[in-house]
Chains A and B, each alone.
Chain A
Amino acid sequence: MNSVVAGITYRAVLGRRRVFLLLLLPLVLIGLALLLRAVGSTDERATVTLMQVYAIGTMLPLLGLIAGTGTIAPEIDDGTIIHLLSKPISRPVIATTKFAVAASMLALFAAVPTFIAAYLLIGDEAGIASGFAVGALVGGIAYAAVFLLLGVVTRHAVTIGIIYAVVWENLIGGYVPGARNFSIQQWAQTFAAQITTSGFFKATVGMGFAVPAVLIVTIGSVVWAGQRLRSLSLTGDA
């Protein structure tokens, strides 16, 4: 971890228009919670649905994409990353720092609002608020790592990330049960299910699979991103 790299990365991500996207999605979540509260649907079932479909199913992967790719891909695209890479700092340290920045932003913009939204509806009844907040945190960490890696290995990180989240996790995962095993969203739900006692919610992937999967994917992605950064090539115009 390097504090100078972290500081520049925070300013780069939060200073651009991206910050509005990072804010918009959780604001919509809290807005929906307030709306449900206003119309009186503050029951457990509605809360679980909001958490499953919007908080974990939509907001989390999109925020993961914005924060994960946003901490590195724009800098590689415009070449500003040379400022960090032409220093006697190991590249894996730079990758790890960028991952930590992305993960911390997901904790702030995904996990915290998830807790607030659920809490607004039903307090911490049946551990739904804390369960989904933990799920969002764990899922956010895994998304941060995977999308950071995508940002390093390809210039089409956002497109590929959206295809993964929408087509694989939501579309194929909806019809093919086996695909759910390889879905960060599902792993997040597995962690949520460990804490919540709600009868309206059951995870499809077991802890025995989700825990090693999250660890392997997260650590593997960060290590791989660091190695790819070591061989980052500048293809000059000439």
Chain B
Amino acid sequence: MNIELGQVSRWYGNVVAVNDVTMTVGPGVTGLLGPNGAGKSTLLHMMAGFLAPSTGTATLDGKKIWRNHQIYRSIGLVPEREAVYGFLTGWQFVLSSARLHRLPSPEDAAAKALAMVEMEDAKERRIETYSKGMRQRVKVAAALVHDPQVLLLDEPFNGMDPRQRLHLMDLVKELGAAGRTILFSSHILEEVERVAQQIEVLVAGRHAASGDFREIRRRMTDRPHLFHVRSSDDRRLAAALIADPSSGAVSVGEAGLEVQAVDFRRFTWLLPRVARDAGVSVWQVSPADEDLESVFSYLISGSTR
């Protein structure tokens, strides 16, 4: 099944949360990648029928999503908010989901879903006694209980320990390989890379990039990188670096050197050698713009900074 967004925008008062986004999410695993506050949750809520687009259309196989409870026959939703009915046991929670879907054999479906997320051992405990990761898994089980064609997960790997995270990643990959349409949001590139075949990047409400992880990775690494370098002799190191074409610009300041590397790979290879040959000790090399926001803003502007 396909989720289609056509020129969707959403604003709250004067604040634009999602700006003119058009995308199709089809079978397989799609990662919705973006920094915090990029509008990922807003976009996901519009796909899940919990928010109306201010303009544009959101449809599931051509059927309108907003104010249409029939879509939940095909959609499973794992919301980001942790809150679930804490007074229910894991078993009761997943079973209630199966009953609300009016499945022919709710007990079997609930048992199967709990097994999928490896929560059989704790299923008789109240959810309020669960860790964050366990709550997350029981929410996934409740969303999978009716074997939905579409699964939407909002920051699903948050709060999970590494083993749980790997397990859920494998589960998501399997479900995607089986032909289901899966979309999950995340602000961590590595997470998205591991699981998703298709990556949609959202920055400041805009659809910044789209492609498989190689494509996104290439666009993120093939760009000028800015480094702060501190050494025993900044000026001499600057002179040696600028002689090589991999450095675009070098400036010497109070806090050390600022080097703009045009060719990332060559620069990281070059720096230690140049320093050694010049007899300079390098004390510190730190990326000045490695945080995700700057990577994203680069993707958006598509120009040299």
Contact = CB atoms under 8 A, between A and B. Distances in A.
Contacts of B102: 88
Interface string B93-133: 10011011110000000000000000000000000000000
Interface string A1-20: 01011011001100100000
B14 to A, nearest CB: 15
Contacts of B265: none
Given A83-B142, A238-B36, A238-B38, A12 B70 contact: no
B304 to A, nearest CB: 29
B41 A236 contact: yes
Interface string A60-101: 000000000000000000111011111111110000000000
Contacts of B85: 8, 11-12, 80, 83
B41 A11 contact: no
Contacts of B100: 2, 4-5, 84, 87, 89
Contact of B96 (A4, A90, A234, A235): A4
Interface in B30-70: 36-42, 44-45, 48-52, 67, 69-70
B88 A234 contact: no
Nearest to B139: A83
A85 B80 CA distance: 15
Given A79-B81, A88-B101, A237 B41 contact: yes
Contact of B83 (A8, A80, A236): A80
Contacts of B214: none
B87 A86 contact: no
Nearest to B48: A86
Contacts of A8: 85, 88, 96
Contact of B52 (A78, A82, A88, A231): A231
Most buried by A among B70, B85, B88, B102: B85
A232 interface: yes
A86 B50 CA distance: 9
Contacts of B17: 238
B226 interface: no
Contacts of B28: none
B37 A79 contact: no
Nearest to A227: B67
Given A79-B83, A80-B84, A88-B69, A238 B77 contact: no
B140 to A, nearest CB: 13
Nearest to B12: A235
B97 A87 contact: yes
B33 to A, nearest CB: 13
B72 A15 contact: no
A72 to B, nearest CB: 13
Nearest to A5: B100
Interface of A: 2, 4-5, 7-8, 11-12, 15, 78-80, 82-91, 230-238
Interface of B: 12, 17, 36-42, 44-45, 48-52, 67, 69-73, 75, 77, 79-81, 83-85, 87-88, 93, 96-97, 99-102, 142-143, 154
24 contacts: A8-B85, A79-B79, A80-B85, A82-B50, A82-B81, A83-B84, A83-B85, A83-B93, A83-B96, A83-B142, A86-B50, A88-B69, A88-B101, A89-B69, A91-B69, A230-B67, A231-B67, A236-B44, A236-B154, A237-B80, A238-B17, A238-B36, A238-B37, A238-B39
Given A8-B96, A80-B83, 4 more contacts: A11-B88, A82-B77, A88-B102, A231-B52
